């Protein structure tokens, strides 16, 4: 599991901890459009929803389908009228709107959409998740991965930098250090 998925799952946990109820929305567009169109249109749609529900906050996940475009999933802390959201969405090209009360399992369900495996190149740089309405998430930069191999690599890197009086290890040498850290682990 990568750091982005971990940050997302922790953010979902935070949303559930802060909210009495969390609702999962699925927003599907009627037509397949260019990637930039979805991003811009979704932003405008969120702004319009905020005119009706000023205090809603939560997370959004981008679900990519190579053949039929992009869907958005929201986890939000505010009950919103589905018919009103459908009416607003129609103006932005959204065809299907579905909502259910979510449980904490929604985090793992939505995290599966963050995989880049088998995805068309045009979708690879697309933001997989983000916030809605000012929700403060767990940041990817705050997550540290700890492992014995990582600890061995950090020690090998520090020794190399000290011996060579340099702040950074060149790429080729770093690959050798990574290999050495892994081999040291296999010996134990």
Domains along the chain with CATH numbers: 3-140 (3.30.70.1910), 148-187 (no CATH)
Please give the structure tokens belonging to residue 39.
């991003």
Kindly give the pairing relationship between strand 58-65 and strand 69-76: antiparallel
pTM (two decimals): 0.73
| CA terminus-to-terminus distance, the chain | 25
Nearest Cα neighbor of 70 from 46, 44, 96, 107 is 96
The three-class DSSP label of residue 162 is: helix
What residues contact 154, with CB distance under 8 A and at least 6 apart?
none
Beta-bridged to residue 25, according to DSSP, are: 74, 99
Q: What is the mean pLDDT of each run of 10 residues along the chain (188 residues)?
A: 79 92 93 85 94 94 78 94 96 93 88 66 68 85 72 88 90 84 72
Please give the structure tokens belonging to residue 66.
């190579």
Distance of alpha carbon 137 from alpha carbon 126, whole angstroms? 18
Kindly give the pairing relationship between strand 69-76 and strand 129-132: unpaired
The pLDDT of residue 143: 65
């Amino acid at each position: 599991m990568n750091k982005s998925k971990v940050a997302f799952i922790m953010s979902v946990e935070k949303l559930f901890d802060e909210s009495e109820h969390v609702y999962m929305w699925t927003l599907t567009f009627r037509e397949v459009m260019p990637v930039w169109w979805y991003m811009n249109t979704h932003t405008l749609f969120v702004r319009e929803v905020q005119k009706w529900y000023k205090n809603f906050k939560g997370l959004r996940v981008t679900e990519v389908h190579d053949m039929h475009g992009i869907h958005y999933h929201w986890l939000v802390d505010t009950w919103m009228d589905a018919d009103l959201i459908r009416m607003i969405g129609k103006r932005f090209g959204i065809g299907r709107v579905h909502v259910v009360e979510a449980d904490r399992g929604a985090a793992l369900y939505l995290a599966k959409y963050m995989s880049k495996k088998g995805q068309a190149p045009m979708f690879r740089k697309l933001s997989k998740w983000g916030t809605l309405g000012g929700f403060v998430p767990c940041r990817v930069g705050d997550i540290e991965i700890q492992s014995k191999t990582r600890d061995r690599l950090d020690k090998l890197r520090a020794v190399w930098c000290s011996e060579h009086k340099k702040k950074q290890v060149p790429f080729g040498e770093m690959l050798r250090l990574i290999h050495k850290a892994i081999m040291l682990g296999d010996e134990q």
